Structure formats: C-alpha cells, structure tokens
Amino acid sequence: MKTANTEVSESHPPARENMHKMPGHWLLAKMGKRVLRPGGLELTRTMLERLDVRPDDAVVEFAPGMGVTARMTLERRPASYVAVERDEAAAEKVRGYLHGPTRRCQIGDAGETGLPDQCATVVYGEAMLTMQGPQQKLGIAREAFRLLKPGGRYGIHELAFTPNDLSADIQENIGREMSRSIHVGARPLTASDWRALLVEAGFRVQYESGAPMHLLRLGRLIRDEGFFRTLRFIGNIILSSDARRRVLSMRGVFRRHRRNLSAIMLVAMKP
Ligand SMILES: C[S@@+](CC[C@H](N)C(=O)[O-])C[C@H]1O[C@@H](n2cnc3c(N)ncnc32)[C@H](O)[C@@H]1O
C-alpha cells in the first residue's frame, strides 16, 4: 500500500487521511500492528477464558478492528458470531475471516446495533469504550445489556486510570495529552468507575483482571505480534518519518504516565 512517505508491506485499512491526522490505532495498523488493545493478547485470552465461549453461544463482538480476537473466538466454534464495526475498511478485513451464514460483520455503531433484543449469550468489545464520551460509554454498555439473554456475559478490555483516587484534574490532563497524541478522544476511567459503569447499565461484575499498559513496549510487541511482524513494524516506522514522529509521541505519552495508566478487563453478567 502506498502512502506519502513509505510503502507498507501489507494491506491494512486503506486510503485514510494523511499520517499527521490519522487516529493512532489506524496508524499502528498501517505500520503492520494488529493487536490494538492496551492489555495485549494475554488479557484478551483471560477475557475469552472468563467469557467461556462455547459451541452453544451466540456471540456479538463490538469493534473487532483487525479481527484478531474474532479469530480466537471463532476457534471456539460458537453457534453464531456477529461483529459490529463502524469502520468500513476494518469490517471488510474482518469479513475475510468469516465463513458461512452464521458469521457476519455489519457496519454500524455499537451503541445502536439494530440487532434484536436478547439475541446473544456473549457480548464483548476491546479498546473501544475508552474512546467514547460518558454518554456513549453508557449507551454501548446498555446496548450490550439489551442484546444479552439473562445469564449472558459481557466482557470489556479497556484503558484504566490508576489508582482509583487519582484526582479528576490529573485524569483530565492525561486524557487531553493522550487525545492530542493519538488524535482520538481518549477517556479512560478508573477501575472503580469502569465497574460502576457496568453496574449502572444493569450488569453484575464477576471478574476483574489487569495488565500494564505496554502497547508499544518491545517485549509486548514481540509477544503480541511475533518476532518477524515486530521487525516489519519497526522497519515500516523507520522508513516513514511522519509515522515515526507519531509513534514516538504516543509511546512518550504512555511512558510518561505509566504510573497512572493500566489495562483492565472486566466480565459481567446480565442477571
Ligand atoms: C483501538 S481500535 C481496537 C480494535 C480491536 N478491538 C482491538 O482491540 O484490536 C478501536 C476500534 O473501535 C471501532 N469503534 C470505535 N467506536 C465504535 C462504535 N461506536 N461502534 C463500532 N465500532 C467502533 C473503531 O473503528 C476501531 O476498529
């Protein structure tokens, strides 16, 4: 795929605005990164274990992005899988992994999916609530609640502020700095506020787990992407000065605030 400054070796969500303005997650995807959630694959695996997806489950995934978790879920052979992704290029990529009438990816807003009430037994979404405002966060959690049958499970994997009593001023400053760097509204919550959000939507929280926010650390890159993909990712960044500036800026923000940022995974049940 040709861009202004570099040729990237793999096709990713194509034809977007230039590197200066592109949302951070699409910039990383364009450089070859597939795992775009803060706790990496390890926290995703924990989430899927806790969600306990089985062959009789009807699964809805919000915001599958590059389809990495979709593939892990499909290995568990659920009865059905529906993804709701608002980005057309990402949805197209995910569709490449979906075969048969019971697997599909629709373009749309996770807050208003148009899917029927109680059509799912498992709903999950990763790295997608953090970028929503307070009302949209609640709207999406309520949509998950509406879609689930009683006893159904909802999993989230997001960015959290830490500790729980971190002052509102500091939260706002870090959020503003992150948003400037990644060019997407970044609004993490503390762990207790994430739990409160799910409770407000009607859920009972059952599991909580965390991981350091190491999205752009070398060790995590290798664990998430594998050695050769990491080399290619780094090579792509070296070749593009615009991408390099942006990635270093994002990495700098995450590093500067590492004591106040972490990844969180919650699994909740619809009573
Ligand atoms: C940071 S990426 C995470 C992708 C993937 N879940 C992962 O963890 O690798 C955010 C994704 O959320 C999608 N997204 C954001 N808001 C959404 C919404 N309201 N409805 C559906 N998709 C949304 C974006 O298009 C993008 O694919």
Position 227 in a domain: no
Position 232 in a domain: no
pLDDT over threshold 60, residue 4: no
Number of domains in the chain: 1
Q: Which residues of 243-269 are buried (b: 16+ CB within 10 A; e: fewer)?
A: bbebbeebeebbeebeebbbbbbbbbb
The angle formed by the CA atoms of residues 227, 94 and 242, to the nearest 5 degrees, is 55
Radius of gyration of the chain (CA): 18
71 is in which domain, residue-wise? Answer: 40-175+184-210+262-269
Position 108 in a domain: yes
Give pLDDT tens digits for 127-159: 999 999 999 999 999 999 999 999 999 999 999
Q: Which CATH number is 192's domain given?
A: 3.40.50.150
Residue 34 Cα: closest atom of ligand 1: 9
Which residues form the pocket of ligand 1, taking CB atoms under 6 Å from any ligand atom?
25, 35-37, 62-66, 68, 84-87, 90, 109-111, 126-128, 131
Position 151 in a domain: yes
In angstroms, what is the span from residue 103 Cα to ligand 1's centroid? 18
Give pLDDT tens digits for 44-90: 999 999 999 999 999 999 999 999 999 999 999 999 999 999 999 99
In angstroms, what is the span from residue 25 Cα to ligand 1's centroid? 9
In angstroms, what is the span from residue 245 Cα to ligand 1's centroid? 23
Give pLDDT tens digits for 227-267: 999 999 999 999 998 899 999 999 999 999 999 999 999 99
pLDDT over threshold 50, residue 172: yes
Is the model's pTM score more than 0.75?
yes
In angstroms, what is the span from residue 87 Cα to ligand 1's centroid? 8
Which of 86, 137, 138, 179 most suits a substitution to test ligand 1, by most atoms within 8 Å of the C-beta? 86
Position 65 in a domain: yes
Beta strands in the chain (DSSP E): 58-62, 80-85, 103-107, 120-126, 148-161, 189-190, 204-212, 261-269
- pLDDT category of residue 17 using cuts at 50, 70 and 90: low
Position 7 in a domain: no
Position 85 in a domain: yes
In angstroms, what is the span from residue 128 Cα to ligand 1's centroid? 5
The DSSP annotation for 143-178 comes to HHHHHEEEEEEEEEEEEEESSTT--HHHHHHHHHHH
| Average pLDDT value for the chain | 92
Position 116 in a domain: yes
